[in-house]
Structure 1
């Protein structure tokens, strides 16, 4: 029953479910037919922004909070990688959401997590723990992980339907 003090919610045509958050890079339909050059440029731009987040959190936790280098890098990696995946899926590779792809991404990120954090920790252990050596270790670990990520995402992950 409906009266002026208790409005009815029976009119479903005027109610809307919240839409998922989408990144507003463009409004073209998702497609995996983006050419290699465009994908590479977008991947590098996305990676640069995500690396800034990763590096910022890593250095903040390591030097301002005093977290061990491996833990600081692990937290930075998780933040940067999550942001990069969300942007790359929608903008770089124009791929629709997919459970199979998400599982493949988790497997890839587990491997690159081990490579990235392991290489950073190994180099940090080998070198004196200073900001300059930490930055160099970060760049080397990030570079190796980035190459692995791009090759596997382009060749395998974003070909999955």
Structure 2
């Protein structure tokens, strides 16, 4: 089986040892070959992170305050949705990287790490801050800010250099 099969083909069976690519749109190869300067990557990463944080916090607040989901479960669900949004946008726009099984696997490991950091910090902040209106957003900002720094450094230095 060739690893250069078109993305739109049906995935092969796992028994053949070829895992399917994650469901993503392919990147135009002419665009992918144009390097993105560090400054542009940083700006795009912040914009993507801002949008993803809106998705994350919006869902978190909705699940917790409106639906009544436990704070840690609400944060866990919103983290998964927010980071999936961030990965898809960063892969295509910020770093212009083509789909890759090794990159996707590395992102899963990174996001598992930042998941633990973010949910853990959010839980700590929620338990130590006073029961005021700003407790939920303050804990979110501390946890999100820490995860954002970790994500940018690891994605730029490692993940989007993988093929």
Task: Confirm or deny a common fold (TM above 0.5).
Answer: yes
Task: Tell whether the 8 Å contact from 2:59 to 2:78 is kept in structure 1 after alignment.
Answer: yes
CA distance in 2, matches of 1:77, 1:134: 14
2:3 is matched with none
2:105 is matched with 103
Runs of 4+ in 1 over 6 A off after TM superposition: none
**Compared with structure 1, are the counterparts of its residues 57 and 130 closer, same or farther at alpha carbon in structure 2 (3 Å cutoff)?**
farther
The 5 A counterparts of 1:107-126 are 107-126=109-128
CA distance in 1, matches of 2:76, 2:153: 22
CA distance in 2, matches of 1:148, 1:79: 18
1:79-110 Cα shifts (integer Å, max 9, x gaps) = 11001100100000000000000000000000
Q: 1:146 aligns with which of 145, 148, 159?
A: 148
CA distance in 2, matches of 1:27, 1:49: 26
The 5 A counterparts of 1:1-161 are 22=25, 28-31=30-33, 33-161=35-163
Q: Which has the larger radius of gyration?
A: 1
Gaps of 5+ in 1: 1-16
CA distance in 1, matches of 2:68, 2:146: 26
CA distance in 2, matches of 1:51, 1:23: 25
TM-score, normalised by the number of residues in structure 1 = 0.82
CA distance in 2, matches of 1:65, 1:43: 31
Gaps of 5+ in 2: 1-7, 10-22
Q: What is the root-mean-square deviation of aligned Cα atoms in Å? A: 2.2
Task: Tell whether the 8 Å contact from 2:49 to 2:86 is kept in structure 1 after alignment.
Answer: yes
TM-score, normalised by the number of residues in structure 2 = 0.81
CA distance in 1, matches of 2:161, 2:34: 7
**Compared with structure 1, are the counterparts of its residues 82 and 142 closer, same or farther at alpha carbon in structure 2 (3 Å cutoff)?**
same
